[in-house]
Amino acid sequence: MKTLGVVASRYASTRFPGKALADIYGRPMVWWVYQQALKSARLDELIVATDDARIEAVCKKYDMNVIMTSDRHPTTASRMLEVSQKIAADFYVTINGDEPMIDPMAIDAAVPDRVLQDTEFGTNTICPFTDPVGVVDPTNIKVVFDDNFKALYMSRTPIPYPYASLAFKYYKHVGVIGYNRKMLEFYGTSTPGRFEKIEGIDTLRFIDYGKLLQFCPAEIRESLSVDTPKDLEKVCGLMKEEGLVDL
C-alpha cells in the first residue's frame, strides 16, 4: 500500500498573505512543516501541493518535493483530488501547511492498516482537548463518534452538551485527513451538504452523504495553526521552548 503525504500550502491568506514563506529561525514555515512530516513512520512519499510559483521555488531551493496545482480550488479536499489525478497512490493524507509544530504521530494516526478501495473511505485524526477554554472556541471543531470511532458529527459548538453527565472527554478535529481515491472523486462530483453549509466545515460533506469517515484518536502534542503574525510569534516561542529549534 502506497501512502502519499501532501502538505497543502497556498500563498493567499486573508489575515496573513504569504504565511507559507514566513521566516521561522531562518527557514520558511513550509520547510518546518515538511521536516516534521518527514518524521512520520507511515508515509511512503511526501510532497508539497501549492498554487504559487514563489512557494514552488522555495521548495525546490530546499530540495522538497513539490507539485503545482490550480489556484481555483475552494478547499483543500478539492486540491487533493487534483493531486490524486496526477500522482497514483492507495491513500492520500493532507497535512496543513501552516502548522510548523505538527506532531508526526498525528500523521501516523490517520494512516490505516488497511485501506478500503471498493467504497468511499476517509480518516480524520482527533485528540482530546487539554484546555477547557478551547471547547467553546468556534475555530476548534468538536467531534462525536460511535463506540468504534466512526464519525457521527462535527460542530463548532460544544457537543455533546453536558446536561446529565460530565463523565466524558471532548475531542477535537486535527487538520490531518486521509482519503482513498474514491472518497476524493466523490468530493469532486458532489455539492456541499446541509450541515456543511450550516457549520462551514467542508469535512462534514462526507457525513452529510453517509460516507465512511473514521476518526483516529491520538494523544499528541498540541499543534497551533499560524493564521496571523501574532500566531507566528507564539509558535516561534513554543518551538524554542520545546527544543524543536537548534539555535
* Domain ranges for the chain: 3-236
Confidence of residue 245 (pLDDT cuts 50, 70, 90): confident
Q: What is the pLDDT of residue 247?
A: 52
**Could you say which DSSP state residue 51 is in?**
S
Which grid coordinates are listed for 41? 513512520
Tens digit of pLDDT for each residue in 68-88? Answer: 999 999 999 999 999 999 999
pTM value? Answer: 0.95
**228 backbone dihedrals φ, ψ, rounded to 5°:** -140, 165
What pLDDT does 15 receive?
83
User: What is the DSSP pairing of strand 3-9 with strand 23-24?
Assistant: unpaired
Average pLDDT of the residues in 102-112: 97
Q: Which amino acid is at 151?
A: A
Tell me the CATH number of domain 3-236, given options 3.90.550.10, 3.40.50.300, 3.30.70.100, 3.30.420.10.
3.90.550.10
pLDDT given at position 224: 82
DSSP category for residue 150: B
| C-alpha neighbours within 13 Å on the C-beta side of residue 111 | 24
Q: What does the block give as the cell for 213?
A: 469517515
Q: Cα(first)–Cα(last) distance of the chain, in Å?
A: 38
Residues 175-218 have pLDDT tens digits of 899 999 999 999 999 999 999 999 999 999 999 999 999 999 99
**Residue closest to 217 by CA, chosen among 96, 120, 119, 129:** 129
